[in-house]
Structures are given as C-alpha cells and as structure tokens.
Amino acid sequence: MEIKQNIKIAIDAIVFGYQQNQLFVLLIKQKYGDLKNQWALPGGFVQDGEPLKKAVVRELKEETGVKVTTMEQLYTFGDDLKRDPRFRVISVAYFGTVNPKELKLNAGTDAKEAKWFPLNTLPKLAFDHKKIIQKAFDRLKAKLNYQPIGFELLDSKFPFSDLENLYTTILQKPIDRRNFRKKILSFDFIAETDEYRKIGSGRPGKLYEFKSRKYNELLKQGISFEIKFA
Amino acid sequence: MEIKQNIKIAIDAIVFGYQQNQLFVLLIKQKYGDLKNQWALPGGFVQDGEPLKKAVVRELKEETGVKVTTMEQLYTFGDDLKRDPRFRVISVAYFGTVNPKELKLNAGTDAKEAKWFPLNTLPKLAFDHKKIIQKAFDRLKAKLNYQPIGFELLDSKFPFSDLENLYTTILQKPIDRRNFRKKILSFDFIAETDEYRKIGSGRPGKLYEFKSRKYNELLKQGISFEIKFA
C-alpha cells in the first residue's frame, strides 16, 4: 500500500527559565536559508527511526547545549499550510522548564547561536514561532491555575516569597498570599529547611525545598487546586 | 533543500457520546488489509493541501456519517515506531463530544461499518487505539475536574440530575451534590426553564438549559472550578 503524501514532520522546543521575576525563553539564530539570522525556536526534522520525544531532546542539545530529560507535548501545528515558506511542515511542539543554573549557556557547544530572551521582549521570530510561544505560555499559565507546577524554575532551596513571585509573574495578577501559602503547604510537597536567606532589606527568610517524590504521588492521585486572587 | 523523511502523518478521531449513565465511543470496522474486520477509531491520512482540523472532520463524515464542527486536539502519537504494522505513521488524535441524537447512526452513508460502543465494553482494537481512547478519556476526566464541560453530551433541555449523573459517570466517584449544584448554578451559564420532566417514580423535575454564549465568555476570562467529592 503506497501512500502519496508530501508533508514533512518536525519538532519545536519551547524552554522556559525564570530569574528575578522574569520568564525567559530559549531561542536560536537561524544559520541557513531564506530565514538566515532570524531568531527561532530550537527544533528540526524528525529522523525516520526516532521517537518524537527523543527528537526534541536531541535537537535541543545539538542547537543550544541545554540538556533536558523530558519535555511535555504542547500542540501539533498543522493547520496553516504555509507556516514554513519552503514546503509543508507539520510541527509537534514540546515545552518544558529548566532551573536557573541552565540560564547560563555553555559557550563551548553550538550554543553560541543560542540565547535566552525575556518573554516580554522577544525579537522578531521566524515561522509561526511567536504563536507557538504564546500557546506554550498560555498552557503554563492554565496549568498553574489548577496544578501546582513550576518548582523546577526555582533554585533547589528557595524562600517562600520566590514561589509567590513566580506565580504572580506567570499569572500576571496578584494572588491572595495567605490563602496561597496555606494551600501550597497543606499538600506537604514543600518542606521547610533549617536554612535562611536574607532578602532585600528585610529579615532573613526561611528556605523551603520541593519534595518531588511526594509531589509525583499526589499528581497520580490528581491534585485539585484553586488559586484565589487578591 | 531536500529533506529525506519516510514518515506518514494521519489523524484519528475519538468521539464520545453519553446516554443513560454510560459513555460511548464511536468505532469503525477496518475494510482492507491485514487488520481487516478489526475495530478501530475513525481516521486516515492527511491530504497534502488539507489542514489537520479539516482532515478530522472529513474522515469522520466519510467513515461514520457523523458531522462535527470542531474537535479538540488531544495528542500526537509518534513515539512508538511500530504503532502501525505497515510503516511509520505519526497520528494526531482529536477528540470531541456529540449530543445524544447523534448516537443514532445514519445507515444511508458508509456508516454501516460504524458503531457506538460503551466505553467499558470495547472490542479488541487495531493499532494503539486502546491507548489513544484511554488518553482521551483521561483528558475528558481531567478537564471536568477544573472546567465545567460536557453540556453538549446532554439533551438541549435536561433535569439537573442528568448533569450530576454525567459527572459521576465520567469522574467515576460520587460528588458532593449540594456543593456541585451551588457551584455550577453560581456561574450563570445554566438557566432554569419553565418545563418539567418526570424522572423515575419521583415528582417531575425542572428542566435546565445551557447558555453557550455566557459560558464562552466565562471560558475566555478563565473559569476556576473545584469539585468536592462526597
């Protein structure tokens, strides 16, 4: 059975990082072709014998030096027939988050053409990548509304205010801090440590850490979560 | 620029219907090939000049006679290289819900090979379609936990108990009925009508109807919703 089909399949990777109340996204500069020197998401064509999820990890590492273990599938872009000016390409987009130390790119790799951009000051982007990033951000925001996520965006030990600020940054509105703190702590996947860190001019704040095992257990059972806004 | 790639792209459609406390899924019987006479999801290869979302609507209509306007993208299955025994096929799965009158298939079309199966008594399925249906059901269930959905699965006017039963059926556990009723009605996208319907041996129950315009407005603003279980 011969299927005639002239469509190529690619993956794109949206990686978010967070630092000092700002969300960042990882971009690369196009090296070849009509779109040379334009910024775009890391990504590329899927190899014949390659599972989609492996293609994402490979492309990210090759193009940016950033190593991730898993990325979550976001959406497959295949309605706009001209999203790639060369020929029809359907792209399966994956998104993920990395911790702050990944925000320093390793200059020894191909990464010299890769750069973190603050989400609110992105350069002109190739293809439909602006739309793809918007969709990834919307998903991140939507998930935050019903599922506690984003811990991997923080340092391994963090003052509680960092988590609050992360939520406020992504949700783009002030949250009810007392209610948020009570809810988050009630799940028991964040534990107090014995360490303190001085923040600004205030007194040192206690550091917390994230318990991923406990979190994953809860996730399996299904966490129901509702954020109240201030 | 020539990209060598030997991968085909298909779509699959998971359509849910609901009747008398049971969820149904629409299947078709394979007509040709090695998998002849096996049941499978409606679906097929994407045409070169065809947006993905149009391919789904077309295949559904051709194979089952069921007309839908929109389907929601579920997930793209492209990690298992042998999910299709013939060659590598990446499938973009879409899911949707239809109202009870669609549960009667039109025998005049190709639909004689299509049939609704109760979700809990599915036949042996071709490809990885069992896994795809499971994923679609999981998504439906997850969405219900934080977003009021499923109204299109009911008659246009329904007793409130039908909505409760739908939720209990999909979530597979009893809900706190008083809390549920209060929450749902507080959103104002369900309105009382002047009609009543007799249910079982009890006294006639008031019928409600769904206000899709109000609902869509709320959806844009972002509905936060938490179901309490009994």
**Of residues A113, A152, A164, A209, which has the active-site annotation?**
A113
CB of A86 within 8 Å of a chain B CB? The answer is yes
Question: Which residue in chain B has the smallest CA separation from A145?
Answer: B224
User: What local confidence, expressed as pLDDT, does residue A36 receive?
Assistant: 85
Question: Chain B partners of A3 at a C-beta cutoff of 8 Å?
Answer: 8, 45
Residue B226 has its nearest CB partner, among A54, A86, A224, at A224
B183 touches chain A (CB under 8 A): no
Q: Is the dihedral of CA A140, A222, B125, B83 positive or negative?
A: positive
Q: Are A206 and A193 in contact (CB under 8 A)?
A: yes
Q: What are the pLDDT digits (tens) for A186-204?
A: 889 999 999 998 877 778 8
Contact B1 A79 (CB under 8 A): no
Neighbours of A230 (CB within 10 A): 11
Q: Give the C-alpha separation, A38 to A30, whole Å.
A: 5
Q: What is the pLDDT along chain A (230 residues), one digit of tens a residue?
A: 678 999 999 999 999 999 989 999 999 998 877 788 899 999 999 999 999 999 999 999 999 999 998 899 999 999 999 999 999 999 999 999 998 888 888 655 555 589 999 999 999 999 999 999 999 999 998 888 777 778 889 999 999 999 999 999 998 889 999 999 998 998 899 999 999 988 777 788 899 999 989 888 887 776 666 677 77
Q: How many CA atoms lie within 13 A of B168 on its CB side?
A: 15
Dist. CA B175–CA B168, nearest whole Å:
6
Nearest to A224 among B54, B86, B145 (CB): B145
For residue A136, give Cα distances in angstroms to A18, A116, A119, A121, B147: 15, 16, 11, 16, 19
- Which chain A residues are Cβ-neighbours of B46 within 8 angstroms? 5, 7, 78, 90
Distances (CA, A) of A180 to A187, A227, B214: 11, 7, 29
| ipTM, 2 dp | 0.90
B78 CA: distance to closest CA in chain A (Å): 6
B152 assigned to active site:
no
Q: Point out the residue among B7, B51, B88 whose CB comes nearest to the CB of A81.
A: B51
**Closest Cβ opposite residue A9 in set B1, B5, B224:** B5
- Tell me which of A2, A7, A223 to substitute to probe the interface with B (most B C-beta atoms closer than 10 Å): A7
User: For position A224, what pLDDT does the model report?
Assistant: 65
- pTM for the predicted model, two decimal places: 0.91
